């Protein structure tokens, strides 16, 4: 993700008066906050997990190695397999999805089918579900219906830690098409995008299945079993950089709903999204926009021939080139002991009775990276909606104290919605938390 340095780390810095370090390929993170997030900010804890950029971090070992691909069908009818970003410490054997924002379970009144809603309320960055396992080539499909309205974007993307990206994106004012796109190492080339027509002319009223068939030499976007676009790796050669501008590194699956149409976003982003968001839109229900995700399926393919096979558990980068021949499959599994841990020093889990920890380092990145490269730093707007003194958090509301929150059980996230889509208060979707008040588990 290429975002401006207007994000949760800045909001968190306002809490403590601390200016947290930023990172680029030429200026890596310092040793005390060694992990570079997708936003280009340095921290520990969640910064060192999914989205940690090894090319900008203190060292290749700063980031926790990414769990290898797992073929599976995920019926998104429960949040039992979802853990919030401030709770997940890297154990992908127990949790398959990490969340930011407010996911919720919806029960269809006519069929009784349950699915996951991604919600977007005013003053928030929307909602993101990101897989804890990576995919290094495979066929990934999702069945969903999208949000509707100007400035509101639903996304199903693959994003690697070095910012290779493959997109399906739905602009809220165009319910007859889906946009396909791809990027390589975060380089913005908007001409890579192409509109695809969806049968039935409605991505909102009817659920469709969207698939990304990603191979080493070709990439196919399909809708409802029909191939709609093909990209061949051989056609992406860049003689200037002397490499193929083709997505080629292990990526997480990201499902998201994000506010592209904020007035604080770049003018081009707002125009692309169909204009500014109307927070009194008839397309909102009880104070929020929503997209409905029914299912995700993953079929893993074999790694490329260039892969360095040293084990079978995790993906790890070995060279600053960040291409598929610089990724090793290893047995180096790391689980953080707490949100103060890093890939180099995971730390130990706090024992029962230990005091709550506070720290002047960034531990949990904010914002919503599920929008991909095109997304702006929407967290800044979320922070300004709460007077700039707090950073947006995830989970369910507590007793109304804006400085605390309750996550429920250790693996849950969000809320349950019964028929009508209106059984949850809009205020529960605009939750804030002071980073220094986080409890280290």
Residues forming the active site = 165, 169
Report residue 380: phi and psi, to 5°. -60, -40
Q: How many helices and strands in the chain, by DSSP H and E?
A: 3, 27
Three-state secondary structure call for residue 425 = coil
Q: How many CA atoms lie within 13 A of 363 on its CB side?
A: 27
List the one residue out of 275, 145, 134, 280 whose CA is nearest residue 214.
134
3-state helix, strand, coil in the chain (%, to 5): 10, 35, 55
Q: 90: which DSSP letter?
A: S
Two tokens, residue 382:
């979320």
Residue 386 β-bridge partners? none
Q: From CA 428, how far away is CA 420, in angstroms rounded? A: 17
Residues in contact with 112: Cβ distance below 8 Å, sequence separation at least 6, in sequence order: none
- Our CA dihedral for 329, 316, 342, 79, rounded to 10 degrees, sits at -70
| Spatial CB neighbours of 274, under 8 Å, sequence gap ≥ 6 | 150, 151, 171, 172, 173, 174, 261
Alpha-carbon distance 278 to 280, whole Å?
A: 5
Query: Which residue, 131, 77, 125, is CA-closest to 102?
Result: 125
């Amino acid at each position: 993700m290429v975002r401006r340095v207007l994000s949760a780390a800045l909001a968190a810095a306002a809490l403590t008066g601390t200016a947290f370090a930023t990172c680029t390929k030429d200026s890596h993170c310092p040793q005390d906050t060694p992990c570079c997030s997708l936003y280009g900010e340095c921290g520990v804890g969640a910064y060192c997990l999914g989205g940690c950029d090894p090319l900008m971090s203190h060292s290749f070992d700063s980031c926790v190695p990414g769990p290898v691909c797992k073929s599976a069908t995920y019926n998104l009818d429960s949040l039992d397999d979802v853990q919030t970003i401030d709770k997940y410490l890297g154990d992908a054997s127990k949790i398959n999805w990490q969340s930011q924002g407010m996911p919720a379970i919806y029960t269809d009144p006519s069929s009784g089918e349950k699915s996951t809603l991604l919600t977007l309320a005013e003053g928030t960055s929307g909602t993101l579900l990101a897989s804890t396992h990576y995919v290094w080539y495979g066929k990934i499909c999702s069945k969903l219906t999208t949000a509707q309205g100007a400035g509101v974007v639903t996304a199903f993307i693959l994003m690697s830690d070095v910012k290779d990206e493959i997109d399906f994106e739905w602009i809220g004012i165009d319910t007859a098409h889906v946009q396909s796109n791809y990027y390589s190492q975060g380089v913005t080339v908007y001409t890579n995008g192409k509109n695809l027509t969806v049968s039935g002319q409605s991505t909102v009223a009817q659920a469709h299945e969207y698939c990304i068939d990603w191979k080493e030499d070709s990439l196919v976007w399909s809708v409802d079993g029909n191939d709609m676009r093909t990209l061949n790796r051989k056609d992406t050669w860049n003689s200037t950089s002397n490499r193929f501008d083709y997505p080629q590194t292990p990526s997480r699956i990201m499902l998201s709903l994000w506010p592209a149409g904020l007035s604080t976003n770049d003018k081009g982003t707002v125009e692309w999204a169909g204009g500014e968001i109307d927070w009194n839109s008839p397309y909102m229900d009880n104070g929020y926009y929503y997209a409905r995700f029914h299912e995700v399926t993953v079929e893993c393919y074999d790694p490329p021939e260039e892969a360095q096979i040293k084990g079978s558990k995790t993906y790890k980068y070995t060279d600053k080139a960040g291409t598929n021949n610089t990724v090793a499959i290893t047995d180096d599994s790391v689980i953080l002991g707490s949100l103060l841990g890093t890939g180099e020093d995971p730390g130990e889990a706090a024992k029962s009775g230990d005091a709550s920890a506070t720290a002047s380092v960034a531990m949990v990145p904010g914002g919503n990276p599920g929008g991909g490269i095109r997304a702006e730093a929407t967290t800044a707007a979320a922070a300004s909606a709460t007077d700039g003194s707090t950073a947006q958090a995830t989970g369910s509301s507590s007793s109304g104290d804006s400085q605390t929150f309750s996550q429920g059980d250790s693996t849950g996230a969000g809320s349950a919605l019964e028929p009508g889509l209106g059984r949850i208060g809009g205020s529960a979707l605009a939750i804030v938390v002071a980073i220094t008040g986080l409890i280290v588990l």
